[in-house]
Amino acid sequence: MAEVTIKNSPNLESPVIPNLLTGETKIQFRCHKEIKCFNACCSNIDITLTPYDIIRLKNRLDLDSSTFLKDFTIPFEFEKDGIAGVKLMPVESGTACRFMVDEGCSVYEDRPTACRYYPVGLVSMRKQDEYTDTSSYARVEEDHCLGHQEERQLTINEYRQEQGVEEYDEYARGWRQLILKKKSSGATIGKPTKTSRRLFFMTCYDIDRFRIFVASEGFQNSFDVAEERMAKALTDDVELMQFGFDLMKQVLFGEESIGLKPGILDERIEKERQKEEARRQQVESCGNSADREPVDL
């Protein structure tokens, strides 16, 4: 199953048809159990999971997120020393999806976004230093997929609705925007620190561990979050995930998206002042300029 991932330039590779399409573009496609190629697409997977995909799958399998990540995923970096993503792990010594059974997909109701979209790919793009992204689509045509020869035409938007992808896109928006902003801001913001990369991984993918972190005394004493929002975040995976995206805007880009408790801001400013002073002294002693780093928690 070839996948179109998040791009900040429309540089698409085969078997992706290199035309950006809109939701109103018609495609000819139908997939059904009687088709000769049934399950062929799930025999060779390359599937990036969104945070919402992980929540759906780990809840489906009744696992905590740490166990799901360890047993069913492989981490990767979107860019060298950049923030991480996770891919679905195939079967041992093979390329097939572990959820594939003779009857089809054993987690069908909770299948990931990429599986729902196939053979369409979402292409998200954004301008430098903006959060707002624009979505286009691309068609993926692989030789083994006979669905393109079926007599059915529908628009991409109709296909997205049929596959229940709209909810998945909505819940992944905050995560996509973080990645796109990080990828396109490059050197202006600097490489994320090891701590912020770890925090991004936990916040976006290891949601049950993130819940423990948010509930901790240290976090509660630092951040000023409305009682109702905090209560929802601590009891609802999706609310917590969205809270986490806001937190990461603060960690990665220094935005004040989550309020700080009185006194914490002064402490931060003082810490930053000391870091700046240390950097200045280092520059003076080395004669080199240092990049500005984002604020760490």
User: Could you list the residues that contact ligand SF4 (CB under 6 A)?
Assistant: 1, 31, 35, 37-42, 45, 97, 99-100, 105, 107, 111-112, 115, 118, 144-147
The DSSP code sequence of 127-182 is -TT---EEEEEEEE--TT-GGGGSS-EEEHHHHHHHTTHHHHHHHHHHHHHHHHHH
29 vs 245, beta carbon nearer ligand SF4: 29
The DSSP code sequence of 92-110 is TTS-SBTTEETTEETTGGG
Quote the least distance from Cβ 99 to ligand SF4, whole Å: 4
Nearest-CA neighbor of 171 among 220, 231, 219, 236?
236
Dist. CA 40–CA 223, nearest whole Å = 49
Dist. CA 49–CA 86, nearest whole Å = 6
65 vs 203, beta carbon nearer ligand SF4: 65
143 vs 256, beta carbon nearer ligand SF4: 143
Quote the least distance from Cβ 40 to ligand SF4, whole Å: 4
31 vs 83, beta carbon nearer ligand SF4: 31
How many residues are present in the chain? 297
Quote the least distance from Cβ 12 to ligand SF4, whole Å: 19
Quote the least distance from Cβ 62 to ligand SF4, whole Å: 17
140 vs 252, beta carbon nearer ligand SF4: 140
Quote the least distance from Cβ 290 to ligand SF4, whole Å: 45
Quote the least distance from Cβ 208 to ligand SF4, whole Å: 21
137 vs 243, beta carbon nearer ligand SF4: 137
Determine if residue 189 is left, alpha or beta; phi over 0 gives left, psi from -120 to 50 gives alpha, anything else beta: alpha
Query: In degrees rounded to 5, what are phi and psi of residue 77?
Result: -110, 135
**Number of other CB atoms surrounding residue 62 within 10 Å:** 8
Dist. CA 263–CA 272, nearest whole Å = 14
